[in-house]
Amino acid sequence: FFVDFWFQLARWIDSTILDALYGWGFGANRPHTNFDPLIGLNNAFGDMLLNFVMATMFLVLPSLWVTALGWVGVRAGGMLQGLANGTRDAGQAGGKGSNLLISAAKK
């Protein structure tokens, strides 16, 4: 569920950037027709920028997210292991006390 959010966000940004760079359809809703005499054919820098942004959105951000969740999981596991180790002595002492009561009750 978490990684799917990043993919859906990347898809939405991809669509938005494509519309901003190239427009959709014909006529006045194509922003580059107002100032570009080649009608977007020389947009190599924009294409390169779009490729970098999309590579980041589809590859890097989900990878960072999964790495962050994995790191948090390892740290939480270490914390829970510390809690289990901290209560082990109390459990052993409680076990010794019950053994003493049972041996005293048998006599």
Of residues 93 and 46, the one with the higher pLDDT is: 93
Three-state secondary structure call for residue 16? helix
| The pLDDT of residue 75 is above 90 | yes
| Domain layout of the chain by residue ranges | 2-106
Three-state secondary structure call for residue 24? coil
The token pair at 27 is: 């006529």
What are the pLDDT digits (tens) for 39-58?
555 667 767 877 888 888 88
Three-state secondary structure call for residue 23? coil
Residue type present at position 37? P
As a whole number of angstroms, the distance between CA 3 and CA 97 comes to: 50
pLDDT, position 39:
56
Closest among 52, 90, 83, 62 to 6, alpha carbons compared: 62
